[in-house]
Structure 1
Amino acid sequence: MKRIIVTRFSAMGDVAMVASVLKEFQKQHDDTEIIMVSRKLFSAFFEHIPRVKFHAFDPKHKHKGLGGIYTLFKELKVYKAEFVADLHNNIRSRTLGFLFKIAGYRTQILDKGRQEKKELTRAENKIKKQLKLTIERYADVFRNLGFAINLSHTLQKEQRLIPTELLGSLASDKKKIGIAPFAQHSYKVFPLSKMEEVIKNLSETKQYEFFIFGGGASEKAIAESWEQKYKQVKNTIGNFTVSQELDIISHLDLMISMDSSGMHMASLVGTRCLSIWGATHPYAGFLGFGQSYEDCIQVEHSNRPSSVYGNKPCDCDGVEAIDLVSSEMILNKIKEL
């Protein structure tokens, strides 16, 4: 059995993309065992993948600083792996990879395509073209280690149990739509008033059930207010584990998400996703595994994208890029399905 240590410490969406790649990798290599190193919260992404052992990375305590990385190195040596695939390429993962390299392990590191992304997002003379998908960049690391892998780029519906609390809703004849309306950066968030218009309009048809995902206390309060206004809305925030959220998403007919983790969680369980784009752009390569470019809802503008991660404003003739998208665009797309 060949053992590969795989590192990707954050962010949530990126780690979910890694899981989608490992699902396909393990199907094509029944003689490999993966040691997945990431934050404990993300362990649920790998529960249904065969021959994957999860090793929790604790950057705030146990694995903090250079000494903590050395501690992690000693922990991982116990697995007696032969290969190290760095799918993060940050200072922590590179330091860890260097320790393994001088110890005689075969190591490879992610090529993020930084120069291409700078050319895509710079303010002037943008080079607007489709860059290599991030999932293919992940696959390239394994290829460079000597492992063949062909990604199908197709959604594969997972069969999961329905959480008992939502058995009635998820087993109903209504169309079931998940909504992940939040993101880490505000420039990627579709205005919540417009999202509520979508919910209100579709609720009036009495043909849909909605499930709200993602966020902390403030986002939970918004989701609960929608739940109180519209009887077809169910808030999941703070009520389910990540594993249970994946169970729920697997039973949806559709997910609506920003360019964020909701899209990648949908991909992981094989659920179609309408994704909404503003300051970022699918050209940067972060479209979810198996998702369709035709399901990206966006308004093209010469100033887009302004950044890869959505952490910078994107002014489009006095309007923020995400505000160019209307609730009617989303409603029309849903009604086409």
Structure 2
Amino acid sequence: MRILIIQTAFLGDVILTTPLIRRVSEFFPLSEIFFLTTPQGATILQNHPLLREIIIYDKHKTESSLLALYKKARYLKSRKIDIAFLPHRSFRSALLAFLSGIPERVGFRGAIGSVMLTKTVERDLSKHEVERNLSLLSPFTDKIKPAYPEVYPSREDYEFVRRELKEVFADRFGWRVIFAPGSEWATKRYPRIYYAEVGRILLEAGVRYIILIGGKEDRRICEDIQKRIGKRAINVAGLFTPLQSCALMTMCSLLISNDSAPLHMASAVRLPAVGIFGPTTPKFGFGPYGRLVKVVETELDCRPCNPHGPRVCPLRHHMCMRNISPYDVADAAFELLVKRFWLLRTNPELFIFPPK
């Protein structure tokens, strides 16, 4: 049997779909699993042991036309897929699966294009996105076990990170904390001066290094925060691939991030994480997923104002982020660091990566 998973949304969405790969492989043990995603999504799926093929669909650039969609459907038809799972609720994804002639097409009820699906599942808004994605298996089984996201950095990824941060890892003492201050959506970014203040509080209280990560587009934001914090802040934004950033996370103690992909990367490598939420809310189902996680947010009548976070605050005050004190973020960070310290001594298997 050949099974296709289609997820062409953001990087974080791809990470939150990886538990479905695990459970599909267990329920269909002799199947070959294919995963169709964007070029960015493909970067986080490299080395995945359960995937037969990662099929890249560059829907925003080189394959944005209807002709390209038709060609991709012809390619999928040549793969002789038996079942397609569609966590992504887009019309284009449903059309692609339909044109590919895949006999069984499973997605969410009420999604755009659901008329082109053969089986639909209710999307339970009270659950985390990981659990919603796993529910796509419910037409086949009522015994769906929980699962964490998974990523698989290579040995070369680990070696590259250690080379680039040689001085950091030569120092074996003290906590290393990662900051991920970027986001594609401007209103989801915690203010730079607040991040810098959190960094200074943590360093004064015993944290050894602050490491700032992100894409090339986040480089200037991270540089500004680095300068404000001082010499024990290290900016690697734009230097590491997503999998290399995951490798880095396995060698650190904590992540502090906006509502963006690094939160889900941390879940995949079992790294404790503090999520800072402003215009969005974890109630949408995209909060940090795991045992050692904390969400910092403030109550306002105007939030949440958008599922993704608008480009500009509709009320022009951005109080959903500005009202969050750096001391509250630092308190959440220290609470997780202390819990991690004790759990490493009592339940070290919680932090084994990759999990056995």
Q: TM-score normalized by structure 1?
A: 0.83
Could you give the per-residue CA deviations for residues 57-99 of structure 1, whole angstroms, max 9, x where no partner exists? 1224542222111111111223222101112121210211221
> SS at the partner of 1:36?
strand
Task: Indicate the residue corresponding to 2:302 in structure 1.
Answer: 303
Tell me the secondary structure at the aligned position of residue 295 of structure 1: strand
Q: Displacement of 1:158 after TM fit? A: 8.5
Return the alpha-carbon distance in structure 1 between the equivalents of residues 142 and 96 of structure 2: 21
Q: Which has the higher contact order (CA 8 A, sep 6+)?
A: 1
The CA deviation at 1:111 is 4.6
Provide the rounded CA distance (Å) in 2 between the counterparts of 1:75 and 1:274: 42
Q: Alpha-carbon deviation of 1:287? A: 1.5
Superposed, which structure 2 residues align to 1:131-210 within 5 Å? Answer: 131-144=126-139, 149-152=144-147, 161-162=158-159, 163=161, 164-170=163-169, 172-210=172-210
- Structure 2 vs 1, CA of residues 270 and 78 (structure 1 numbering), >3 Å: closer, same or farther? farther
Question: Higher mean Cα deviation, 38-47 or 280-289?
Answer: 38-47
Q: 1:208 to 1:133 in 2, by over 3 A?
A: same
Give me the whole-angstrom Cα distance separating, in 1, the residues matched to 2:42 and 2:102: 28
Residue of structure 2 in register with 1:86 after alignment: 86
Q: SS in structure 2 opposite 1:144?
A: coil
Question: Structure 2 vs 1, CA of residues 23 and 208 (structure 1 numbering), >3 Å: closer, same or farther?
Answer: farther
Q: Residue in 2 aligned with 1:240?
A: 240
Does residue 103 of structure 2 align to residue 108 of structure 1?
A: no
Of the structure 1 ranges 24-33 and 173-182, higher mean CA displacement relative to structure 2 is found in: 24-33
Letter in 1 for 2:40: L
Instruction: Give the % identical residues.
Output: 22
d(CA) in 2 for partners of 1:177 and 1:36?
33
Return the alpha-carbon distance in structure 2 between the equivalents of residues 60 and 176 of structure 1.
37
RMSD: 3.0
Distance in 2 separating the partners of 1:188 and 1:271: 21
> How far apart are residue 26 of structure 1 and its match?
3.5
* C-alpha contact 2:23 2:134 (8 A) present in aligned 1: no
Task: Give the structure 2 partner of residue 221 of structure 1.
Answer: 220
Write out aligned runs for 1:25-104 (5 A).
25-26=24-25, 29-52=28-51, 53-100=53-100, 103-104=101-102
Structure 2 portions without partners, runs of 5+: 113-123, 339-356
Counterpart for residue 249 of structure 2: 249
Aligned twin of 2:273:
273
Per the TM alignment, residue 28 of structure 1 is displaced from its structure 2 partner at its CA by 5.9
Aligned length: 317
How far apart, in 2, do the equivalents of 1:165 and 1:77 lie?
44
Q: Helix, strand or coil: the match of 1:16? A: helix
Distance 2:149 2:88 in 1: 24
Please name the residue that 2:347 is paired with.
Answer: none
Q: CA deviation at 1:18?
A: 1.2
Q: Is the 8 A contact 2:2 2:34 kept in 1?
A: yes
SS of alignment partner, residue 182 of structure 2: coil
* Change over 3 Å in CA distance of 1:190–1:335 after alignment to 2: same
User: Which aligned segments of 4 or more residues in structure 1 are displaced greater than 4 angstroms?
Assistant: 111-114, 145-148, 153-160
Which ranges in structure 1 are unaligned for 5 or more consecutive residues? 115-128
Is the alpha carbon distance of 1:28 and 1:143 closer, same or farther for their aligned partners in structure 2, counting shifts above 3 Å? same
Query: C-alpha offsets along residues 4-32 of structure 1, whole Å, 9 cap, x if unaligned?
Result: 11111121211121124424544565423
Q: Distance in 1 between matches of 2:151 and 2:214?
A: 23
Q: CA deviation at 1:145?
A: 5.2
Q: Distance in 2 between matches of 1:64 and 1:200?
A: 45
**d(CA) in 1 for partners of 2:44, 2:26:** 16
Q: Residues 156 and 89 (structure 1 numbering): CA distance in 2 closer, same or farther, change over 3 Å? A: closer
3-state SS of paired residue (1:303) = coil
Partner of 2:211: helix, strand, or coil? strand
Deviates more, 1:49-58 or 1:294-303: 294-303
Q: Residue 138 of structure 2 aligns to a residue in which SS?
A: helix
CA contact (8 A) 1:279 1:306 kept: yes
Task: In structure 1, give the amino acid aligned to 2:187.
Answer: Y
